[in-house]
Structure 1
Amino acid sequence: MRNFLTKAGLLGSVSVALGSMWWSQQKTESDTCSSDAAAASPASLYELKLVQVLFRHGARTPLKSMPDVLEARWDPTLLEAPPHTHINYTVTDLKGGPRPTAPVEDSYRRNTLSGGSFPGQLTTVGMQQLYELGQRLRNRYIEETPFLSPTFTSAEVYVRSTNIVRTIESAKCLIAGLFQQKQKDIVSILTTEAESEILYPNYHGCKLLKVLSGPRWAELSTLPGIASDLQSILSALGIAAHQHVDFILIRDDMVARETHGLPIPPVLNSWRNKVEDRAVDMMCRLYEPSKSEKLQLSVGSLLHLLLDNIEKKLQDSSAEANRKLFLYSAHDTTLIPCLMALEIYDMKWPPYAADITLELHQHRQTGDAFVKVSYIGQDQLIPGCSGVYCPLQEFKKLLSAYTLNPEVYVTRCNSTGGPTEP
């Protein structure tokens, strides 16, 4: 059985991932969908009210190196922070108290990679990637559309991260790029304890998710096709079978090396596409069978939170009515099930610094609410929505099979029986 805290909780970013060609991304093509949507629903008819960005951390050191092969040297100089990413920030719990303990981060720091760095650490390259994501958001929400103030204020911006150094630092770098290091307030990056984390599929805190997925994890590398390909690549790499290496681990190490210009075993040059495809295949098959229930338990609470933020903004009744931007710093294993729930997963592993952005708009004449979703800066036509500007009720309906309010989530997680109606 895998270590679910480090593998299933976050393998590849604490990363696990997700299945089958059923889910195809329906991007709005510039010469078809988006032009039609723009003609039917010009942006001038809508007023932007709220933006929520769920993003993957930047490039990092691998979680584990491939054994028995040419090792890369992960020198600590690869982790130096560029001066333009510095901001004044603090890390707290969700109520503003001391930062909780971080068992996942502690587990990384019990090991050392060749060269001296710890596994899973944000690198200079990753910091720059998040800075550039912040610059893209600045261009969209400050320069093109004067939605946000050009200087960070805590009244406008909420920042939450998983309690892991690479995601915390990624959030910091994004803020630096978004506001060009200009801030009126100290940036508070909120975190929570591992047991109650909802920003990734929590196999440690949700017993039922572990029960449903544990046997599946154990058999993934034995499935037809995957097993034969794995045996071939392990033989080519000279990795012994007892090392328990799978395609996700190979991909993780391979992509980390490629991103930082570090040497890759030559045999991987001919295997690269197969490694990518099989890693994605494993992630997708993890959610079969019982896909709906596993997606619920993986990201249902997070999806509920995103919708709740929208409802509160529309009611304008909370003490935080001025809040315009919610930032959630997370992992590839967060994005994949969210993309699946939205039915826009493109069967590709989310790259470093990938983002899913939800915009809330109100029609200027009718006052009706609409949601617009983008993935890595590309507007999406969500299946079940009548347009890129998706009526809120349609959007809520298509997510209703997956969202779980906190109370139901806890109840379901603590059960080991069959599914119940939320």
Structure 2
Amino acid sequence: MRARRLVCGIWSLCFMFCLFCIFLHQTTAKRKLKFVSMVFCHGEHTPEELFPADMHKEILRQQGHGQLTKLGIQQQYELGQYMRRRYSHFLSVVYKQSEIYVQSTDCDHTLMSAQASLAGLYPLTQDQIWNPRILWQPIPVHTVPLSHDNLLYLPFSHCPKYKELLRETFTTRDFQRQLKHYKPFLKFLATHTGYSLKKLNTERIWKLLDTLQYEDNNNYTLPVWATRGVRTKLIKLSELLLQAEFGFHKQIQKSRLQGGILLKTILKHISNARNSSHRQKMVMYSGHAATIAALQTALNVFNGKLPPYSACHFFELYQERNGQYTIEMYYRNNSLRNPHPLTLPGCKFRCPLERFTQLVSPVLVRYWTKECRM
């Protein structure tokens, strides 16, 4: 009898010890980063278009349209270095094709931006050096022609329903009330740039701002009329037009036809990353300010400001200690500061994947071509 009690006591102790070990494992196990997707804006580039009255025609003759500048290369290289620091314990030290996929719009400055970022992300190790005078390695960057880009080159203009929504937006009382303040300014710009008032559309306003910013940053003499106050007002007008493109009026309907397409693709990659056989760790997209604005509008986290050069939106998928998957989002719009945490409206910052998908489901379209029809 005494021996039986002793055996029972030993089994009880063993059972309690096993429970303690399980509890200890659960409390000390770390949450794991499983997948990262990022969408970034290109670095500084030469103008894509000079305004008719621009005196610096030599810029395009010497350097060409939309070419990444030395500053732009540096901005993107530093973004890549930041990625390496942030994900040093997640990505392999050396480039592995199975771990990362990179896609860019088919524009010189976005393709160059992707390459410069990858150079910062994957500095060569001793075994990888193929020429001691060239500390660089080629890494694939995928693209499609702009006419076939239904992912990154936003806004997608070849969508009749979107064009109708945009026309509606421009006629709303709220938009017209805000645009009214800029009508004298638009006439001022037409007078001094050489553009007719009809040609000062959204895209041309953005390109004009890019040109003046490039010339100011690179010590070209600006026109007398392009004062700091004028350039600040041009930024404000550009931001108003950017918000009108993707939000402002019928935001959900617009997002279904614009930024929701990229969001749906990113969520598909995130969902696939939960499989134990999945080897890919990162998908990187090189796009434009409009790409980030459309994506963040679809997420309802856009701050209304023009994304600066090399701005980057991060999605991080984690597996928590209890096995649940969560998404965290960050926005890096200043290289001197840590990225801003972004919280999806209706969820906490560390948002469960199922809840995240449920909240964004209204902007995820199933048949884009069908919905684009009038």
Q: What is the TM-score of this pair, normalised by structure 2? A: 0.78
Pick one of 100, 110, 120 that aligns with 2:66.
120
Q: Deviations over 1:269-323 (max 9, x none)?
A: 2212211111101111234432211121112221111111111111335xxx111
Matched-pair contact (CA < 8 Å) for 2:104–2:110: yes
Does residue 1:267 correspond to 2:225, yes or no? yes
Q: Residue 330 of structure 1 aligns with which residue?
A: 287
Amino acid corresponding to residue 139 of structure 2 in structure 1: V
Give the number of equivalent residue pairs.
325
Give the aligned partner of residue 133 of structure 1: 79
Q: 1:59 and 2:44 equivalent?
A: yes
Question: Within 5 A, what are the aligned runs for 1:1-400?
Answer: 45-71=30-56, 73-74=58-59, 113=60, 115-142=61-88, 146-181=89-124, 187-193=139-145, 194-213=147-166, 223-235=179-191, 237=192, 239=194, 241=196, 244-245=199-200, 247-269=205-227, 270-286=229-245, 287-317=247-277, 321-364=278-321, 366-376=322-332, 377-400=338-361
Deviations 1:241-288 (A, max 9, x none): 457235433312112223333332233222122111111011112344
Task: Tell me the distance in 2 between the aligned counterparts of 1:401 and 1:322.
Answer: 30
Residue deviations 1:10-38, cap 9 Å, x none? xxxxxxxxxxxxxxxxxxxxxxxxxxxxx
- Counterpart AA for 1:152: Y
Mapped to 1, the partners of 2:29 and 2:340 lie a distance apart of: 16
Contact 1:162 1:197 survives alignment (8 Å): no
* Kept after mapping to 1: 8 A contact 2:264/2:364: yes
What residue identity is the alignment partner of 2:182? I
Task: Provide, for residues 355-390 of structure 1, a one-character-per-residue CA deviation record: whole Å limited to 9, x for no partner.
Answer: 1010001112x1111111111152323242543222
Q: Which has the higher contact order (CA 8 A, sep 6+)?
A: 1
Superposed CA offset, 1:218-263 (max 9, x none): 998994122122223444x364645723543331211222333333
Distance 2:168 2:181 in 1: 19
Per the alignment, in what secondary structure is the counterpart of residue 314 of structure 1? coil
**Secondary structure of 2:93's partner?**
coil
Once the two structures are superposed, residues 99-139 of structure 1 have per-residue CA deviations (whole angstroms, 9 ceiling, x without a partner) of xxxxxxxxxxxxxx3x4333222222211111110000011
The answer to whether the 8 Å contact 2:170/2:244 transfers is no
The structure richer in helix per residue is 2
1:404 to 346, 361, 365: 365
The farther-off stretch of 202-211 and 56-65 is: 202-211
- Paired residue type of 1:268: A
Return the offset for 1:47: 1.2
Change (3 A) 1:398 1:72: farther
Does the residue aligned with 1:60 lie in a helix, a strand or coil?
coil
Task: Note closer, same or farther for the CA distance 1:243–1:262 as it changes in structure 2 (3 Å cut).
Answer: farther
Shift of 1:175: 0.7
CA contact (8 A) 2:51 2:193 kept: no
CA gap of 1:192–1:238, structure 2 versus 1, over 3 A, is: closer
Return 5+ residue gaps in structure 2 as ranges: 1-26, 130-136, 333-337
Q: CA deviation at 1:68?
A: 1.6
Read off the aligned partner of 1:199 and give its amino acid letter.
L
Contact 1:233/1:271 (<8 A) preserved: no
SS at structure 2 position matched to 1:189: coil
Distance in 2 of aligned mates of 1:116 and 1:186: 26
Contact 1:200/1:298 (CA < 8 Å) preserved in 2?
no
Kindly tell me: are residues 49 and 120 of structure 1, through their superposed partners in 2, closer, same or farther at Cα, counting changes over 3 Å? same
Letter in 2 for 1:159: V
CA-based RMSD of the aligned residues comes to 2.9
What SS does the corresponding residue of 2:362 show, helix, strand or coil?
coil
Q: Is the 8 A contact 1:199 1:334 kept in 2?
A: yes
CA offsets 1:53-111 (integer angstroms, 9 cap, x no match): 1111111111211222443642xxxxxxxxxxxxxxxxxxxxxxxxxxxxxxxxxxxxx
SS at the partner of 1:122? coil
- The letter for the 2-side match of 1:191 is T
